């Protein structure tokens, strides 16, 4: 099955084509793009997509994230071990601290800048979740 998804962002468009021989897997992959871009912290709708690259001893990583222009919270794209993607919980980022909090967890960040951030962006960070409840997929959605 081949699915075409068009997502509009404040005057621009992202067109994605997803193809898989398993119809359910193709639909699962395409549905990630249909999640509403509503901030889980402030409920703002001015959300932009961005990415960071990081290099570690374990390899190269790309972090895709949605960032709220109103409160600067972000939701990072996660991936299932068996394939497929999901949006993680929205986290409030505090530029004056290396600790950010959500309703169910505290996140400690260790800055590792590998690329100079463009204007208005923060540097790349690896995160470690501390005292987090077991991940519940429904809690990752902003509504």
Say yes or no: 75 and 129 in one domain: yes
On whether both 55 and 99 belong to a single domain, the answer is yes
Look at residue 118 in the predicted model and tell me its pLDDT: 42
54 and 26 fall within a common domain: no
SS3 content of the chain, % helix, strand, coil (to 5): 10, 45, 45
Residues 23 and 60 in one domain: no
The residue ranges of DSSP E strands in 28-131, in sequence order, are: 47-56, 59-68, 74-79, 85-87, 99-101, 106-111, 125-130
If asked whether residues 91 and 25 sit together in one domain, one would say: no
The parent domain of residue 125 ranges over: 37-140
Interval 57-107: pLDDT, tens: 999 999 999 999 999 999 999 988 877 889 999 999 776 644 444 444 444
Q: Are 7 and 60 within one domain?
A: no
The domain total for the chain is: 2
Do residues 23 and 58 share a domain? Answer: no
């Amino acid at each position: 099955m081949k699915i075409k998804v068009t997502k509009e962002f404040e005057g621009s468009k992202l067109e994605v084509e997803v193809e898989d021989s398993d119809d359910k897997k193709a639909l699962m992959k395409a549905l990630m793009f249909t999640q509403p871009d509503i901030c889980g912290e402030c409920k703002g709708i001015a959300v932009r997509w961005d990415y960071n690259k990081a290099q570690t001893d374990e390899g190269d990583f790309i972090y895709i994230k949605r960032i709220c222009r109103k409160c600067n919270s972000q939701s990072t794209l996660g991936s299932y071990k068996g394939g497929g993607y999901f949006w993680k919980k929205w986290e409030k980022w505090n530029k004056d601290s290396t600790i950010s909090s959500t309703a169910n967890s505290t996140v400690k960040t260790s800055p590792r800048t590998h690329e100079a951030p463009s204007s208005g962006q923060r540097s790349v960070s690896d995160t470690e979740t501390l005292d987090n409840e077991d991940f519940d997929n429904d809690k990752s959605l902003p509504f």
